[in-house]
Structure 1
Amino acid sequence: MSDTLVIKVGTSSLTRSDGRLALATIAALIETIVDLRAQGYQIVLVSSGAVGVGAARLGMTERPKTIALKQAAAAVGQGIIMRVYDDLFREHQQPVAQILLTRGDLDRRSSYINAYNTFQELFRLGVMPIVNENDTVAVDELKFGDNDTLSARVASLIDADWLFLLTDVDRLYSADPRKFPDAQPIFQIDRIEDLTALQVQTGGKGSEWGTGGMETKIAAAAIATGAGVKTAITHGQFPQYIERILHGEPLGTQFTPQLRAANARKRWIAHGLIAVGKIYLDAGAVAAISTGGKSLLPAGIARIEGEFEATDAVQLCDASGKEIARGIVNYSSSELDRIQGHRSTDIIDLLGYLGEETVVHRDNLVLS
């Protein structure tokens, strides 16, 4: 079976300082993608730039601040970007498809499966998907927030082998090399936690027109490697580096993947859902879940944090706040306030109705 690659290209790579498209860079990226497809790779391109390109077309001199103006600029820019991609890929007889996603599309199990099936059918048809966040309609609670996160979740969704994050530096450094000439390059990360020991300063967002930065790329790498996807950060102006990395060259910063969950539903829980609350467990519940493969019962809950509804995803944490698992909860936060610390047999008396015996069933729970 062919390896599947997700390539995310950021606004800083796609556009010039005035917000207009960097056509030479885009053409080089497309040539690289076409070459890789000819070698048998399946590829998904996650493309930023809609807001910046739309703002430039509308004569704006800075990134729009209000949600409505951002969405209007995205509506203008998305069509421009797709036209450019379609024109350039057509020169290579490569059909493309546009897929616009919001976080809600991957939070809901039914639409998550539908999205997976759409990607697989496009691969079967020889069509290359081009993905972006649906900025024109997404509200804050349904946004990924940046396309680095979106690309990592897409990589998890389609069981990709590699995620490439193309940016405006050649690799991760201990600090911004444009400001600190003595910043040290980082070539390999085996665990995301190692970045703390290396004292990496991630800084803020990248370009004037973009929403990402190195911090979001590291967060994306954590999501992707947690889903078993090899990840690399490399320079967007040299897309040919992708092929060289695939051939084993130590270019960019490469992140070692973790073991991938075999069960598709558990992969969705672990990497397709956003946790909206925390449940802190006592020592007995931590041990039962961590080593015993048990469900979470109300008696094992020490306290809860956040507001959530039944069927939302939550983090399960030990007393120190370290996440040990995450799962889909059977009760809302207000209901858990009343039953936490009690036996399951007390639920009907405490709530006035008979609910589930478990707070999080082991089938809906994934260890972190």
Structure 2
Amino acid sequence: MSIARLSDLADPALAPRLVIKVGSALLVGPDGVRRAWITQLVAEIAQARSRGQDVIVVSSGAIALGAATLGLEKGGRGSLADAQASAAVGQIALSGLWAELLGTHGITAAQMLLTLEDLEDRRRYLNVTATLTRLLDAGAVPVINENDSVATQEIRFGDNDRLAARVAQAAQASAVVLLSDIDGLYDRHPRLPGAKMIPVVEGVTAEVRAMASTDSNSGMGSGGMVSKLQAAEIAELAGICLVIGNGQHERPVARIVNDGIGTLFVPRRKAAARKAWLGGRLRLKGEIVVDDGAAAALGRGSSLLAKGITAVEGVFSRGDPVAIVDGEGKVLAHGLSEYDAAECAAIVGLHSSEQERVLGYSPRSSVIHRDQMVLK
């Protein structure tokens, strides 16, 4: 059995481990911390725990809190330096708030600050998994945020939607609940006439992506519907459900679960753990462009051969993650290259019998082996 409806989120047999992501605008209002609202959410977390469910919180809000304390404009997002300084100040208040409120229910809070590299590097990703597992086994509620005080534009998630999905992968969670400023995914911009919310989505397709808006109604957060769909795709690779729901109500989880208001993304597939990690990566070192024949072969489960490559872009080494794209730039797969970029470029379009002459050594069986590849 698996999660098929929003009410299943309250069933510990179907959803033994939940990740709940809370956006900045839900935690911090014009007058500061929305303490009464957070208190209600913490009570819902305590209820889930009493039902036998593990809960992980991915909490935004550090930059907004720190900016208010430091008196910085634009919510602390006027510059990277402002955001880093705001995060350094705000994270103390944010973690203290969660620890205090969870403590009123006898629950221990544990802070974890992660950067993109912590989840992109395989060894560090496994370390995150081990830490989360130990904390949950010990009865704690991990409260996770991006480490914005040190992350730069080049090495950051940029939004906690995708961070929540990657954390769910690492924690082997059952579902991710994204509490935001909107009820769910609409078939067009929700402010347009006739817009309808979609209750269930089975896999993120091109048609679903076309419905997304980059707008964030609050102007405080960094995500929009596009980032939420990207999070749904990351979760899907690991066979994890994702829910978009409106957090602007008291007891928002109960509104989603009991009233059935939200969009449930049901995964169509589940990749092996390593492939789920690879497919969910947000930073890739390059691109390998393939012809139609190679694209079709990949879809049938074949490895990528040099014969089907038409171009190589970027600088990468053997073992680095790259995207495989078709002639129109559509991403077909992520994979770990068996060659560096220069070697790939040298054997573009060549049959295996021709590669030894160019490379100076016997070619490997494939440029990207199917065991080191995940289709998108």
TM-score by length of 2: 0.88
Structure 1 residues 139 and 95, CA gap change in structure 2 (3 angstroms):
same
1:160-215 CA-to-partner distances (Å, cap 9, x unmatched) read: 111101012222334554x5465333322223227559x63514234232211222
Q: Judge conservation of contact 1:189–1:256 (CA < 8 Å) in 2.
A: yes
Is there any run of 5+ residues in structure 1 with no aligned partner, and where? none
**1:218 Cα deviation from its structure 2 partner:** 2.2
Match of residue 93, structure 1, among 86, 106, 123: 106
Partner Cα distance (2:363, 2:250) in 1: 54
Q: Judge conservation of contact 1:9–1:166 (CA < 8 Å) in 2.
A: yes
Structure 1 residues 24 and 175, CA gap change in structure 2 (3 angstroms):
farther
Is there any run of 5+ residues in structure 2 with no aligned partner, and where? 1-12
Match of residue 334, structure 1, among 337, 342, 345: 342
Match of residue 5, structure 1, among 1, 6, 18: 18
Alignment of 1:52-63 (within 5 A): 52-63=64-75
Partner Cα distance (1:278, 1:127) in 2: 41
Q: Judge conservation of contact 2:202–2:265 (CA < 8 Å) in 1.
A: yes
Query: Residue 186 of structure 2 corresponds to which residue in structure 1?
Result: 173
Query: Residue 36 of structure 1 corresponds to which residue in structure 2?
Result: 48
Match of residue 228, structure 2, among 185, 205, 217: 217
1:59-87 CA-to-partner distances (Å, cap 9, x unmatched) read: 12423322122101100001110011111
Q: Judge conservation of contact 1:315–1:326 (CA < 8 Å) in 2.
A: yes
For structure 1, which segment, 332-341 or 29-38, has the greater mean C-alpha deviation from structure 2 after superposition?
332-341
Query: Residue 93 of structure 2 corresponds to which residue in structure 1?
Result: 80
Alignment pair present for 1:256 and 2:266: yes
Q: Judge conservation of contact 1:3–1:161 (CA < 8 Å) in 2.
A: yes
Partner Cα distance (1:132, 1:50) in 2: 8
Q: Judge conservation of contact 2:335–2:374 (CA < 8 Å) in 1.
A: yes
Alignment of 1:286-301 (within 5 A): 286-291=295-300, 293-301=301-309
Partner Cα distance (1:363, 1:176) in 2: 40
Partner Cα distance (2:373, 2:194) in 1: 45
Structure 1 residues 174 and 264, CA gap change in structure 2 (3 angstroms):
closer
Structure 1 residues 60 and 139, CA gap change in structure 2 (3 angstroms):
closer
Query: Residue 5 of structure 2 corresponds to which residue in structure 1?
Result: none
Alignment pair present for 1:285 and 2:297: no
Alignment pair present for 1:139 and 2:148: no
Partner Cα distance (1:347, 1:43) in 2: 52
Alignment of 1:1-368 (within 5 A): 3-18=16-31, 20-63=32-75, 64-177=77-190, 179-180=191-192, 182-193=194-205, 195-196=207-208, 200=211, 202-238=213-249, 240-243=251-254, 245-246=256-257, 249-261=259-271, 263-272=272-281, 274-291=283-300, 293-344=301-352, 346-352=354-360, 356-368=364-376
For structure 1, which segment, 158-167 or 264-273, has the greater mean C-alpha deviation from structure 2 after superposition?
264-273
Question: What is the identity, as a one-letter code, of the residue corresponding to 1:223?
Answer: I
Structure 1 residues 267 and 180, CA gap change in structure 2 (3 angstroms):
closer
Q: Judge conservation of contact 1:316–1:324 (CA < 8 Å) in 2.
A: yes
Give the superposed CA RMSD. 2.4
TM-score by length of 1: 0.89
1:13-42 CA-to-partner distances (Å, cap 9, x unmatched) read: 111035x21111111111100100110111
Question: What is the identity, as a one-letter code, of the residue corresponding to 2:268?
Answer: Q
Partner Cα distance (2:302, 2:250) in 1: 46
Partner Cα distance (1:283, 1:171) in 2: 36
Partner Cα distance (2:176, 2:208) in 1: 22
Question: What is the identity, as a one-letter code, of the residue corresponding to 2:130?
Answer: N
1:276-319 CA-to-partner distances (Å, cap 9, x unmatched) read: 4321223443344322x332222221222334333222222334
Structure 1 residues 194 and 333, CA gap change in structure 2 (3 angstroms):
closer
Indicate the SS of the match to 2:29.
coil
Q: Judge conservation of contact 1:227–1:258 (CA < 8 Å) in 2.
A: no
Query: Residue 6 of structure 2 corresponds to which residue in structure 1?
Result: none
Indicate the SS of the match to 2:33.
coil
Structure 1 residues 244 and 56, CA gap change in structure 2 (3 angstroms):
closer
Indicate the SS of the match to 2:236.
helix
Partner Cα distance (1:359, 1:312) in 2: 12
Q: Judge conservation of contact 2:237–2:276 (CA < 8 Å) in 1.
A: no
Indicate the SS of the match to 1:35.
helix
Structure 1 residues 314 and 349, CA gap change in structure 2 (3 angstroms):
same
Q: Judge conservation of contact 1:277–1:314 (CA < 8 Å) in 2.
A: yes
Indicate the SS of the match to 2:74.
coil
The alignment covers a number of residue pairs equal to: 362
The percent of aligned pairs where both chains have the same amino acid is 39
